[in-house]
Amino acid sequence: MGIDILLSAIAKIKSKLPDVWLAIAGKGVLRDSLEKQATELGLSNHVQFLGFLPDEQLPIAYQAADITVVPSQSLEGFGLIVLESLACGTPVLCTPIGGMPEILAPFSPELITEDTDVDAIALKLEGLLTGKISIPSRNACRDYAATNFNWTKIAQEVRQVILKS
């Protein structure tokens, strides 16, 4: 997922944005090493590891965030996390990996980093958090997800693909 890269990006911007705070959900095998990295980067007051969140708590977590960051480095398929966050009204910053840019580009291309590295993520995140880059409203996020990724629309698109086969 690139959480190690995101931690380095947070460390890079924390001097300019001392109130930056990151919540990380999940309980993967990398948790211990990520917690160690956060400590080594001086992020103890800037990062909270939440552990596993059940599905019913995900909307609350998304809605509590100002921005969802998906720093994927490779092997990202469709990027359901992007749609889940948008549907909850929270904008998403993502790397140009997998299907995530296809979701965000028509809506807000400035939410896609130029690259997957620390500098690209830090630059875009700093711009969003300082207001140099415009963040879509919560209503705009929800409307985009509901209009473009609802099951009725998706079913019709799948139908058209099947009929052309």
Instruction: Check which CATH number belongs to the domain holding 38 and give it.
Output: 3.40.50.2000
pLDDT in the model for residue 77? 73
- Count of the separate structural domains present in the chain: 1
Q: What is the pLDDT of residues 104-120, one digit of tens each?
A: 999 999 999 999 999 99
In order, the DSSP letters of the chain are --HHHHHHHHHHHTTT-TT--EEEE---TTHHHHHHHHHHTT-TTTEEEEE---GGGHHHHHHH-S-EEE---S---S-HHHHHHHHTT--EEE-S-TTHHHHHTTT-GGGB-SSSSHHHHHHHHHHHHHTSS----HHHHHHHHHHHS-HHHHHHHHHHHHHH-
Rounded-to-integer distance, Cα 139 and Cα 145, Å: 10
* Domain range enclosing 13: 3-164
- Predicted structure pTM score: 0.90
pLDDT at 147 over 80: yes
pLDDT at 78 over 90: no
**Mean pLDDT, residues 95-103 taken together:** 94
pLDDT at 75 over 90: no
pLDDT in the model for residue 79? 80
